[in-house]
Amino acid sequence: MTALYPLRFKPIYQYRIWGGQRLRHLVSAPLPDGQPIGEAWLLSDRDDHPSIVADGPLAGRSFRHVLEEFPVQILGALSGRFARFPLLLKFLDVTGSLSVQVHPSDAAKEFLPAGDTGKTEAWVVLHPGPKARVFAGLKSFTSGAALRQAIAAGTVADDLASFTPAPGDTVLIPAGTVHSLRDVVVFEVQQNSDVTFRLDDWGHIDPATGQPRKLQVDQAMACIDFRQGAIGPLTARVQQIKPVLCESLVQCDQFGVTRLQGDTPFSVGSLTQPRVIVCLSGGGQLANADADYPFHQGDVLLLPAIIGACSCRPRGPTSVLEISLPQDS
């Protein structure tokens, strides 16, 4: 049997009309020239775009096949609970404006294709541009009727709560929240779902068709949680300052996100469940079982539960995110 190790994956680039070329400064794999690339999928267990292991004995294998062969070794205590890996990780380059949209919750089963879940997500702001804006939630007392009128009049932006993001800001977008982004590069962690309903598209014309993209107003309205008001950045909770700064950014029912920053060795991973490590800046090596696994800015590595904790040895100042899965059933 192949011994598992920290698994690195190749990024999957996605064309988006609102994308750009800024991910070339974040991810080492070359971007397609001249195309607006809006997303780099970093870890995906989806049939349409499965992640591929980049190196080691399992190089070239899809994450789906690896997970099917080693479910207990990878998921540990969570084995048997998920039909597929429950999270999807991405970098987003929203050079233009993301559509005004909403995702259904797990409870909105009539809007979920077979095998899909709801879609709660979170963003960590990496590079805000000069026109950067985060739209998250509706302004107080916005009703369904008022929102429909705004959609018809093309004034939806007037009903959206928004703020100017700063590098390092973290934003949690629960399913059912109306949201959008403008002129910003972010890391995104979300439930493993690809269901999005558009309320408005800022007048975008799809160059491929010469037509506006379709809206799904009725479905979106049915999924909106009108109790959800304005959303701002979360406050990072410092867990420790030595050997490196460790901050809890997000802890919700769907995932957890911890940020570790420094230039001295520290521990990552868990013996009971998998962790995903995303390098935002710097680089170094992960040490496990007397072997070293180098990583660089933009890399993502899955640490299977069976390998336990690894020693992360930065090469100069380094910032990584450690992503955890939900622990409660």
Residue 328's pLDDT band, with cuts at 50, 70 and 90, is low
Residue 1's pLDDT band, with cuts at 50, 70 and 90, is low
User: What does the alpha-carbon distance between residue 259 and residue 130 come to, in Å, rounded to a whole number?
Assistant: 25
Q: Is 120 left (phi over 0), alpha (psi -120 to 50) or beta?
A: beta
Determine the pLDDT at residue 33: 84
Percent of the chain residues topping a pLDDT of 70: 98
Residue 290's pLDDT band, with cuts at 50, 70 and 90, is confident
Residue 3's pLDDT band, with cuts at 50, 70 and 90, is confident
Read off the pTM: 0.95
Q: What value does the mean pLDDT take over residues 239-257?
A: 96
Taking only the tens place, the pLDDT of each residue in 25-66 is 999 889 988 889 999 999 999 999 999 999 999 999 999 999
**DSSP code, position 254:** S
Question: Closest Cα to residue 278, out of 305, 312, 251?
Answer: 312
Percent of the chain residues topping a pLDDT of 90: 88
For residue 83, the one-letter residue type is A
- Close Cβ partners of 186 (under 8 Å, ≥ 6 residues apart): 91, 92, 94, 123, 124, 125, 126
Residues in the chain: 329
Taking only the tens place, the pLDDT of each residue in 66-116 is 999 999 999 998 988 888 999 999 999 999 999 999 999 999 999 998 888
Give, in order, the Cα–Cα distances in Å from 7 to each of 55, 57, 107, 138, 308: 8, 10, 33, 40, 13
* Whether 10 contacts 63, CB under 8 Å: no
Q: What value does the mean pLDDT take over residues 213-228?
A: 95
Q: What is the mean pLDDT of the chain?
A: 95
Q: What value does the mean pLDDT take over residues 214-225?
A: 96
Residue 49 burial (C-beta neighbours within 10 Å; 0-12, 13-18, 19+): middle
| pLDDT at position 329 over 60 | no
Domains of the chain: 7-223 (2.60.120.10), 237-324 (2.60.120.10)
Taking only the tens place, the pLDDT of each residue in 298-323 is 999 999 999 999 999 999 999 999 99
